[in-house]
Amino acid sequence: MVEPVLRTPRQRNAMTTSGPARGKARLRRAIQIFRDEGLRSLWFKFLGETVYRRMDLIERDITPAPASAGPAGNLQVSLLSPAEVDEFMDFRDYADRNTVLQRLAQGERCFLVRDQGAIVHCCWTVTARTTIDYLACKVRLASGVVYVYEAYTARGYRGRSVSSMRSAAMLDYFSARGYRRLLAVVWPENLPVYRSLEKAGYTVVGRIGYLGRGRCRRYFQHYTGNETPLQLLDAPGTRPPGYGEGYWNHVTENLEAQRHYLDPFLAELKRRENLRLVRDWGGLRPDGRLLKTDVFEEAMGADAFLGDLQDEVGLLTGMDVSTAVVRRAAGRFSGDRLRFLAADVRRLPFADARFSTVVSTSTLDHFPEPADLGVSLRELFRVLEPGGRLVITLDNRQNLFDPLLRLAHWLGMVPYFMGRSYTVSELRGELGAAGFCVLDTTAILHNPRLVAVGTMRLVRWLRWRPLIEATQKLMLAAQGLEATRLCYFTGSFVAALAVRPAEQVQTSAARGERS
């Protein structure tokens, strides 16, 4: 009998899941492969774990296994219980104990195969939602579908039909509970990797292959974004991603658990530029009423600017489709002239001609359906008083780096859903169709977002103050491009000042009579 390769608790505790420890472990593994199998084998294993990651999706009906396929001899199949987690950690020394306990608490099942009491094989299954590591995203499984992942067999037991015994027991288990379909991904000798360049290749293959257009797409409900809650949409299956309050609630929770995606310097730069635009164009007055169409900045980052306007406007109203965003924004900012509420910009709960100024900073470019931009603009036109001003920014389609940003979003590297971007002429056309008169346009924030975020992370990681200061000065100087004819090719956002003409006074009732 070949003894299973196990580690003692002391050996397991000596190993950590921190970055340096993983790096050292991978280096030791590479040295061992080089010694045992040579440089050629090391090279191809490296390619297999990065560029040419093998991904085979297995799809099969769940039917009871033949009686002869069950466990035999000294092998027994069982389910992992919370009391066995410490023993499981000795077997899977790279696993995170808290993650294992969380999976069990969420109803995931881990099938174990034991030989004379020692664990020699494990496999996780999930029936609701799961994370596909190499796509770095969460998916929701269709009803009656089981997803199998992280199967592992100890050395000395590979090739001995251990996994087939576990599969037979697993099929019996789920068949008895009414499940109909099993999905699994086979990726031999591949470690989960989240680095951007390595992620690009297999994300494309996976999403186009079976999450996007593949034959198994009907079993996955895939949502745009790195992480997606089980209840993403208001009505699952009836609306495209990006609509529901649940999605933006989850984005808020996800960003709360991590650091905000914007570097503090970039957040302050964005705050200053938006504030300047509103003050220059907004026609602010002490007796005025201002509406901001989302308060994501106020809830999440240092780029918030609504609170800076409290002494300049009579009443400030911040709204957002997400109740979580509204609660967090209200917790960070307060004042006699400031209020927050949850509302959908396509169905505003305000009376006609309620506001003197509306500020919409990159709110209306998060719709999956382009037609919703026009719907929202008509609602903003309705709630503006005659002569009232709309200050609006949208993602700039003319920006030279916009295709790179769209690619990053498609690959799941942007922490929230993005809709389409617009040229300045398209923005003018949409505003005109909604009844607005466009007075001015420009483009702001002349630092490509993806490049700027990556650059600031790099220079801060290097921790060389002169380089950090030089990078910041360069980004500040780039804002001067707004005064040139190149502004629409370098600005991250296209901006417009639009006004509701005084002579076009109409009420909701009047529009209804004419329709």
The whole-number average pLDDT for the span 168-179 is 89
Confidence category of residue 493, pLDDT binned at 50, 70, 90 = very high
Closest listed residue to residue 456, CA positions, set 260, 206, 256:
260
Domains defined along the chain, listed by start = 9-222 (3.40.630.30), 257-514 (3.40.50.150)
Please give the distance of CA 352 from its chain centroid, rounded to a whole number: 36
Can you give the pLDDT at residue 433? 94
Beta strand extents in 331-453 (DSSP E only): 338-342, 355-361, 384-395, 437-444
Alpha helices of 50-161 — where are they, by DSSP H?
85-91, 97-105
In degrees and rounded to multiples of 5, residue 136 shows phi and psi of 50, 45
**pLDDT-derived band at 136, boundaries 50, 70, 90:** low
Average pLDDT, rounded, for the chain: 78
For the residues 347-358, what does the mean pLDDT come to? 93
Structure tokens at 182: 């099993």
How many CB atoms within 10 Å of residue 268?
A: 15
Average pLDDT of span 281-310? 90
pLDDT higher than 60, residue 422:
yes
Asked whether residue 441 carries a pLDDT value surpassing 70, the answer given is: yes
Q: How far apart are CA 170 and CA 124, in angstroms?
A: 10
Greater pLDDT, 293 or 417: 293
- Kind plus residue range of the DSSP H or E element containing 198: helix 196-206
Residue with tokens 């329709």: 515
Residue 167 has pLDDT above 60, yes or no: yes
> Is the model's pLDDT at 3 over the cut of 50?
no
Would you say residue 264 has pLDDT above 60?
A: yes
Both tokens of residue 271?
């705050």
Give the lowest-confidence range in 9-13, 53-57, 120-124, 412-416: 9-13
Q: What percent of the chain lies above the pLDDT cut of 90?
A: 34
When pLDDT is averaged across residues 430-436 and rounded to a whole number, the result is 94
pTM of the model: 0.55
For residues 260 and 80, what is the distance between their CA atoms, to the nearest angstrom?
A: 36
Residue 194 banded pLDDT, cuts 50, 70, 90: very low
